[in-house]
Amino acid sequence: MDLWNKEGIPHKGWKCIDIEDLAEGLDELDAEERKDYYETCEMCNHEGIRYVHIMEHPEYSEHLRVGCSCAERMEEDYVTPQLREKNLRKKFSRLKTFRKRTWVQNFNGNYMLKFKGYFITIMPSKYKKGEYGIIFRNKQYWKYESLEKAKRAAFDIIDEYLQQRPANGIYLPY
């Protein structure tokens, strides 16, 4: 039985508090293997949800994990949930492009990458083996437990910066 037909469950007035891409980071898996990572919509029981909208309601104590169609109905907004998914798809595409880039290791052991005109550096910690830090635009970010986690964090840092650039694009890299 889906929650649309269950009494006591609000149908309107929900708010999306987050969205997740369940297949993010699963590039190495084929489509058949990836399906195991998809969820079932908690509102309508539709299977195979990759983009999960996490919904909350002031009159309901639990968060619901739902697909786009249910999020549209619950929010009474038939544009924003689709835009959230579109933005997440675009981010995943940018991440795939970023991961294909080759990091160069310099003589200090730092890993450097030039991406879209900006330099980003990953440095191993001098004090704790296996820990890494990131430098981007003279700002430092620390405590990543592996090089792969640092590379993923580097993407998030540079992607967030690039998405916040002004429309005229007049930020100058330094």
pTM above 0.85, yes or no: no
Helix or strand (DSSP H, E) at 97:
helix 80-99
Digit-by-digit pLDDT tens for the chain (174 residues) are 689 999 889 999 999 999 999 887 665 555 566 566 789 999 999 998 999 999 999 999 999 999 999 999 999 999 999 999 999 999 988 998 999 999 999 999 999 999 999 999 999 998 888 899 999 999 999 899 999 999 999 999 999 999 887 655 555 444
Q: What is the pLDDT of residue 174?
A: 44
Evaluate whether 140 touches 134 at the Cβ level (below 8 Å): yes
Name 66's bridge partners: 53
Instruction: Please name every residue paired with 87 in a beta bridge, in sequence order, or none if there are none.
Output: none
> What residue spans define the domains of the chain?
3-80, 99-163
Closest among 69, 77, 15 to 45, alpha carbons compared: 69
Give φ, ψ of 121 to 5 degrees: -125, 140
